[in-house]
Structure 1
């Protein structure tokens, strides 16, 4: 039975899924996706922070 890596959006909609032959392969893809999501959230917070500081200073 293959392992399945699934990405579900905040609205509960399936964004992507992929089957893998081993748990390790599926876990690695999930781990990498987690890193990409975390980096995206950090960038959004940094942009919001920069915008707020700019508004205060102007």
Structure 2
């Protein structure tokens, strides 16, 4: 969801843009950690290396 977003911009309804090309791996890992720590049951331990691997999929 963070890398690729959700929804289709040409359709009505919810849409969240992705950050695949806008942010480096370390920033995406930091945002992921913050969101899960703040709003989840427990913080994630996503690293920049994890994000790099997800980009390659």
TM-score (norm 2): 0.34
Query: 1 or 2, which has the higher helix percentage?
Result: 1
Structure having greater relative contact order (Cα 8 Å, sep ≥ 6): 2
Query: 1 or 2, which has the higher strand percentage?
Result: 1
TM-score (norm 1): 0.34
The structure whose Rg is larger is 1
